[in-house]
Structure 1
Amino acid sequence: MATSLAASQEHVEVIAQGLFSMVGDTVLVSHSAGAPCGWALAAIGGPLVKAIVAVEPLGCPGFQHPLGQFSHGLNAAPLSGEHDPFIRPIAVVSGEASWMREANAQAVEYIRGRGNAVDHIRLEEKGIFGNGHMLMSEYNSDDIAREIIEWLNDRVS
């Protein structure tokens, strides 16, 4: 993590072409403050990015964070890539007891407002209860992983 959200995004954008040349087709999975970098990668990777799973993504338009303000939609800085990062299948995953629930809902509405499709996986609606922000560290993380894998299997060939 760099000293600001914009600097983190810039670092990822600099290495994106090299990364995509090594891995080719990919599914981006981001968490929390990594989400803005995921959107930036998708804008550069274009058709190589087959889907995005944003787990408890940080940010929504206007969101103020100590490392920067989200003044460019779901990013703190303009995207350098030429592709629409929201054109592919996207899942936003939110825990029932997370402090990010409202911002996640606003991020989903932002994506939909651009005319793009996005699935908001609210874990309690899937029978997975009590989760906070660090979903991968909780006792029921295997249930969460199964939901994400099922979503991917339904949307990515």
Structure 2
Amino acid sequence: MTHALALADFGSFFAGGRPVKIEGESSRTVAFTRTASLPYDPNGHYHFEQAYVQYFIPAHRTQPLPLVLLHGGGMTGAMWENTPDGRPGWLQHFLHLGHAVYVVDNVERGRAGWAPFESVWSESPVIRNAEESWSLFRFGRAEDFVRREGFKGQRFPLGAFDTFIQHAVPRWIGNNDAALRGLCAVLERVGPCLLVAHSHGGEVAFRALKEKPDLVRGVIGIEPSGFAEPIRSKTVAGKPILLMYGDYLNATPLWERLVVAGREYANTLQSKGGDIETWWLAEMGIHGNSHMLMMDDNNGELARRVSQWVLARFSF
């Protein structure tokens, strides 16, 4: 991509959340700088559980429905912007392909902010370490992590792995319902759209399809790790849904289970009238993709394939 991109509009907004009044916390003196010290009283009114959205509208659009990009677990909307080794990410590819794009930082992630009070979120956050990322995202075998030796044919830019793990942010495991409410608030602002959801975001997206079927006109699930039950025919009938999987899917027992779950969910969606297509990239002759296929060295090609799939189903 060497040509300049003309935008008709861009900006950002917050959506959803709830007001919270904090009481009973202890006050203390804090020093913001070496010269600015003052009493800090954490008691008072706040707004938590909102989502943050940044949007980009190209001057020349190729299809009417915007793409809403939803990150996976423990990550933020930054995962769509650039690859760890500095190449354009799916945000840039989709814009150059003529799609309006809305990038979500859902509840607790990135610029959406988070609640530091146990009275709001009682559990402790978790954050993914480098070792877990290596195995879970199918970069290589666990025993090869120290040497950073990836699977044969691996397309993820392993030389930038240490940059990649900087994407990891804290997450609160019990916030799935709050994440659903946050995404639904985003949809109400955006209007009819296509959801592009990665990993844990897949469950949130399919739940949103169930809650807001008039707004979610289709779902592109990038290796979703969760789904929504039960499925009602009136929410999925006739709707295009694409599931997309990379390579090395027998690398761990977890991924073997997720593949089975994905096949079963696709079959159920089909039985309810959904227009379902599943891309098993390795079976299509596209080998070497990791769980982070929007960052792999063929991410541009994959974005073009997704765009063509969208354009075949939605046009002006």
**What TM-score, normalized by structure 1, do the two folds share?**
0.73
| Structure 2 residue 274 is the aligned partner of structure 1 residue 116 | yes
- Aligned amino acid, residue 92 of structure 1: L
- Aligned amino acid, residue 145 of structure 1: A
| Structure 2 residue 153 is the aligned partner of structure 1 residue 2 | no
Q: Which structure shows the higher strand fraction?
A: 2
Higher mean C-alpha displacement, 145-154 vs 99-108 = 99-108
What pairs up with 1:77-96 in 2 under 5 angstroms?
84-85=235-236, 87-96=238-247
Match of 1:53 among 220, 224, 248: 220
Displacement, 1:112? 1.7
| C-alpha distance in 1 between matches for 2:172 and 2:188 | 24
> In structure 2, what is the equivalent of residue 22 of structure 1?
189
| C-alpha distance in 2 between matches for 1:87 and 1:15 | 26
> In structure 2, what is the equivalent of residue 128 of structure 1?
286
Largest Rg, 1 or 2? 2
Q: Identify if the C-alpha distance between structure 1 residues 37 and 17 changes in structure 2 by more than 3 Å, giving closer, same or farther.
A: closer
Displacement, 1:149? 0.7
| C-alpha distance in 2 between matches for 1:101 and 1:143 | 23
| C-alpha distance in 2 between matches for 1:132 and 1:58 | 14
| C-alpha distance in 2 between matches for 1:12 and 1:43 | 14
What pairs up with 1:91-102 in 2 under 5 angstroms?
91-98=242-249, 99=255, 100-102=258-260
| Structure 2 residue 300 is the aligned partner of structure 1 residue 154 | no
Displacement, 1:78? 6.8
| C-alpha distance in 1 between matches for 2:230 and 2:268 | 16
| Structure 2 residue 302 is the aligned partner of structure 1 residue 144 | yes
Determine helix, strand or coil for the equivalent of 2:173: coil
Q: Identify if the C-alpha distance between structure 1 residues 114 and 78 changes in structure 2 by more than 3 Å, giving closer, same or farther.
A: closer
Unaligned runs of 5+ residues in structure 2 are: 1-170, 250-254
**What TM-score, normalized by structure 2, do the two folds share?**
0.39
Cα deviation 1:93-145 (Å, max 9, x = unaligned)? 11132334443322212222333220111223443212121111211111111
| C-alpha distance in 2 between matches for 1:101 and 1:131 | 15
Q: Is the 8 A contact 1:42 1:84 kept in 2?
A: yes
Q: Is the 8 A contact 1:128 1:143 kept in 2?
A: no
| C-alpha distance in 1 between matches for 2:183 and 2:299 | 29
Cα deviation 1:41-94 (Å, max 9, x = unaligned)? 1122222222110010113xxxxxxxxxxxxxx23x779x9x625652100011
What is the aligned residue count? 137
Q: Which structure shows the higher helix fraction?
A: 1
Q: Identify if the C-alpha distance between structure 1 residues 143 and 102 changes in structure 2 by more than 3 Å, giving closer, same or farther.
A: farther
Unaligned runs of 5+ residues in structure 1 are: 60-73
> In structure 2, what is the equivalent of residue 69 of structure 1?
none
